[in-house]
């Protein structure tokens, strides 16, 4: 088994910015959905002349997956432990199109002092959700994957071997909480005896209390059984199923991620339409379906109507399993469905499915971050153009934000 499987996919730490105590970035919330508007504050302390005229904002990202497929062979010496043989190894890395925007421009160079630059930016309407899986494996597949976004604010210093910059992780979720569009599934079946004699109908409907969840969050499944037949409903089996679809190419050398940015890439980012259809069937594609937990609920007697709630948590039953965020990236697709199987005598099982959207786990360190002491001295500077923000909006958005006093 390859020992350096994670080397291609480890979260690459950003290099420490020069004079990190002179520039600070704070966003107005911890995560965003596609189409949201990002509001942020850039605090800048210029204590010496800077050979630059421009303060820039960029958002960039990448996705990558690595997976190995295995085959099992009988071990003549130990029948209980088959021999695993690696069939293929794939690695795919793509840079998500990026954009760059000028926040402010000083024709005569940056003035000395303490400054605060409020800004905003509207995200594209379609973006793959942030995703991270360090390592997962079963008898036939070993894989890991990542979809990551970064927001950077920097002073471009021509001719120097460094810029003055600050960078922060940008957490993207694929859906907004919306209680007005809860998924609902309804199925019914005709009950017949062995001689095809009708014995009535069973109708089952199920829906969730929310449309998006986080790992380890409480989830309530509401269900109604209308049993007008002469047979009893034995029970309901509720299963959380995860489907992972990976696409890659034979491992090869990829272009470095830190390639130069282009000011025209903002248009490119907005024009991208990420394909959310099923991945094509090919040699370098792997699909893995896994049941994360099973919940058994009681049924009802004949000629009885019941409405009940099944309460559980979005936590896998096995310690070796992890709930990952939903994403529809080019090379990684992670989706969840809730399979509900209703068992009754003299009938095939009634099957219902409910889609589940999972948001990324929030980083608690974000809440603990505090702005540097010198940020209290900063004078607010109006950012021109589309990125500009009214002072009244900033006061409203950042009131109560951890580490920021407006």
The per-residue pLDDT for 370 is 85
Residue 267's closest CA among 151, 100, 128?
100
- DSSP bridge pairs for 328: 333
Report the SS3 class of residue 265.
Answer: helix
Backbone φ and ψ for 71, nearest 5 degrees, come out as -125, 145
Which residues does 345 contact at the CB level (< 8 Å), separation at least 6? 231, 232, 234
Model pTM score: 0.78
157 has which bridge partners? none
Hey, what are 71's tokens?
Answer: 């085959």
**What pLDDT sits at residue 200?**
85
pLDDT tens-place string over residues 30-61: 999 989 999 999 999 998 888 889 999 999 99
**Cα atoms in the Cβ-side hemisphere of radius 13 Å centred on 160:** 11
Note the pLDDT tens digit of each residue in 242-284: 999 998 764 333 333 233 333 333 333 332 333 333 333 445 6
Residue of 26, 51, 42, 158 whose CA lies nearest to 106: 51
DSSP string, 121-187: EEPPS--PPPEEEEEEE-SSEEEEEEEEEEEEEEE--TTSS--EEEEEE-EEES----TTS--EEEE
pLDDT for the residue numbered 378: 93
pLDDT in tens for each of the 406 residues of the chain? 333 433 333 333 333 333 444 899 999 999 999 899 999 999 999 988 888 899 999 999 999 988 887 776 666 666 666 666 666 777 888 888 788 899 999 998 899 999 999 999 999 888 899 999 988 877 678 888 999 999 999 998 877 666 789 999 999 998 776 666 677 787 777 665 555 667 788 889 999 998 889 999 999 999 999 999 888 999 999 999 999 999 876 433 333 323 333 333 333 333 233 333 333 344 567 888 899 999 999 989 989 999 999 999 999 988 888 999 999 998 899 999 999 999 988 778 889 999 999 999 888 888 888 888 999 999 999 999 999 998 888 888 888 777 676 6
Residue 80: the pLDDT is 65
Q: What integer pLDDT is reported at residue 55 of this predicted model?
A: 94
Cβ–Cβ < 8 Å for 323, 358: yes
């Amino acid at each position: 088994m390859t020992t350096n499987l994670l080397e291609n996919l480890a979260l690459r730490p950003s290099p420490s910015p020069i004079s990190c105590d002179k520039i600070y970035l704070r966003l107005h919330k911890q995560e965003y959905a596609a189409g949201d508007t990002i509001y942020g504050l850039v605090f800048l302390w210029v204590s010496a002349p800077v050979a630059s005229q421009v303060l820039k904002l960029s958002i960039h990202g990448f996705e990558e997956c690595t997976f190995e497929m295995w085959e099992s062979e009988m071990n003549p010496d130990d029948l209980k432990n088959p021999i695993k043989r690696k069939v293929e190894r794939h690695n795919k890395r793509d840079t998500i199109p990026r954009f760059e925007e000028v926040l402010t421009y000083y024709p005569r160079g940056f003035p000395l002092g303490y400054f605060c630059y409020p800004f905003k930016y509207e995200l594209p309407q379609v973006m793959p959700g942030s995703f991270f899986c360090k390592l997962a494996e079963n008898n036939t597949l070993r894989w890991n994957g990542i979809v990551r976004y970064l927001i950077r604010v920097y002073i471009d210093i021509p001719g120097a071997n460094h810029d003055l910059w600050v960078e922060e992780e940008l957490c993207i979720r694929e859906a907004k909480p919306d209680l007005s569009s809860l998924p609902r599934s309804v199925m019914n079946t005709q009950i017949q005896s062995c001689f095809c004699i009708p014995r009535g109908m069973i109708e089952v409907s199920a829906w969730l209390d929310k449309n998006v969840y986080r790992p380890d969050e409480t989830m309530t499944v509401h269900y109604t059984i209308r049993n007008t037949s002469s047979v009893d409903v034995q029970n309901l089996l509720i299963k959380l199923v995860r489907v992972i679809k990976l696409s890659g190419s034979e491992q090869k050398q990829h272009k470095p991620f830190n390639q130069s940015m282009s000011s025209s890439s903002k248009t490119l980012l907005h024009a991208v339409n990420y394909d959310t259809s099923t991945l094509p069937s090919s040699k370098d594609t792997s699909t893995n379906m896994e049941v994360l937990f099973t919940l058994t609920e009681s049924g009802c007697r004949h000629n009885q109507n019941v409405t009940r709630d099944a309460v559980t948590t979005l936590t896998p039953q096995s310690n070796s399993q992890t709930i990952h965020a939903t994403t529809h990236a080019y090379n990684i697709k992670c989706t969840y469905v809730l399979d509900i199987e209703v068992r009754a005598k003299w009938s095939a099982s009634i099957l219902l499915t409910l889609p589940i959207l999972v948001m990324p786990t929030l980083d608690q360190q974000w809440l603990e971050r505090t702005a540097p002491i010198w940020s209290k001295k900063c004078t607010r500077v109006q950012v021109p153009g589309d990125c500009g923000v009214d002072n009244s909006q900033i006061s409203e958005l950042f009131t109560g934000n951890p580490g920021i006093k407006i």
